[in-house]
Amino acid sequence: MDKQFFTLYNGLKIPAIGFGTWQIKNDIVKDACLTALKEGYRHIDTAKAYGNEKGVGESLKECGLTREDVFITSKIPAEIKDYEDAKRCIRESLELLDTKYIDLMLIHAPRPWEEMANRNGHRYFKENIEVYRALEEAFEEGLLKSIGVSNFDIDDLNNIIKNNKIKPMVNQICIFAGCTPTDLIDYCKNNNILVEAYSPLATGRLFDKPLIIDMAKKYNVSIAKLAIRYCYQLDTLPLPKSITPSRIKENLDIFDFEISEEDMKILKNISF
Ligand code: NAP
């Protein structure tokens, strides 16, 4: 049977599909999250940079579930690169979400967004050790149930593994059919780091790709279901986003079919 949870190396269980909230404004995110929670999502992905933690927190209060029932992820902004600022951001996220703890907190990116494309520029290795140290302390205080990173390459991860105390539990990276960073995924798996797949629908750009359209027809499923199932079968945790109630429901419903090994290879190797 398909697993409904992934388990982090510290034993924490994390629901196998997360509800993405990037680009959902704070004034509508509460309703989107309430719909998602009503449909059965138990995992919401937000970030300080999305500006919607307050609304996400309100949905937690209004959904009728207990805090323990819902797994919440947030992120320290990519531009925050020192220890004190990182500590402040963790406190602010706790306040905005209005919660005693956050289930998973990530460093949003190894470099500020403006510098992300430039792997040959300043790499922020020393700074990331300090930001991650703030995560480690909050983890040890019980304010964060798990900690990790996002958009980290192998050398960024190695830097943390070598120089910090607690190995990241998660690396959240961009994965969709047509964008499958196999070496990085394998590296994470070999180190027991759970890989989360963000933008599993390529932020909406997968829907006009003939190969994907044909394969979805073959399995008699929607394109979104095929794409989300692809990430899941890579053993990575998909984080689809939608503000449309029917799509929110559809994106959770990926457990009634299986993509063959042959088709997984095709999806892994396509490029657009
Ligand atoms: P995505 O989930 O790849 O795609 C979302 C787009 O697809 C929206 O335009 C949505 O439209 C549409 N869509 C969703 N379900 C659909 C369906 N069943 N049928 C047709 N269209 C559908 O988008 P994403 O926001 O880039 O990624 C998902 C989440 O990953 C984010 O929300 C965020 O939580 C996370 N993320 C993290 C990072 C990072 O740096 N760590 C970066 C990007 C994303 P509607 O909303 O209009 O329905």
pLDDT in tens, 57-111: 999 999 999 999 999 999 999 999 999 999 999 999 999 999 999 999 999 999 9
Q: How confident is the model at residue 122 (pLDDT cuts 50, 70, 90)?
A: very high
Q: How do residues 207-224 score in pLDDT, each as one tens digit?
A: 999 999 999 999 999 999
Residue from 207, 72, 203 nearest 144 by CA: 72
Looking at ligand 1, which residue's alpha carbon is closest to its atom 5?
203
- What pLDDT, on a 0 to 100 scale, did the predictor assign at position 117? 95
9 belongs to the catalytic site: no
Looking at ligand 1, which residue's alpha carbon is closest to its atom 11?
242
How many angstroms is it from 202 CA to the middle of ligand 1?
7
Q: How do residues 38-50 score in pLDDT, each as one tens digit?
A: 999 999 999 999 9
Mean pLDDT of all residues in the chain? Answer: 97
**Ordered DSSP codes for the chain:** ---SEEE-TTS-EEESS-EE-TT--HHHHHHHHHHHHHHT--EEE--GGGT-HHHHHHHHHHSSS-GGG-EEEEEE-TT--SHHHHHHHHHHHHHHHT-S-BSEEEES-SS-GGGTT-TTS---HHHHHHHHHHHHHHHHTTSBS-EEEES--HHHHHHHHHHSSS--SEEEEE-BTTB--HHHHHHHHHTTPEEEEE-TTGGGTTTT-HHHHHHHHHHTS-HHHHHHHHHHHTT-EEE-B-S-HHHHHHTT---S----HHHHHHHHH---
Model confidence at 1: pLDDT above 90: no
Q: Is the CB of 52 under 6 A from ligand 1?
A: no
Instruction: Give the integer Cα–Cα distance in Å for 106 and 85.
Output: 14
- What pLDDT, on a 0 to 100 scale, did the predictor assign at position 2? 84
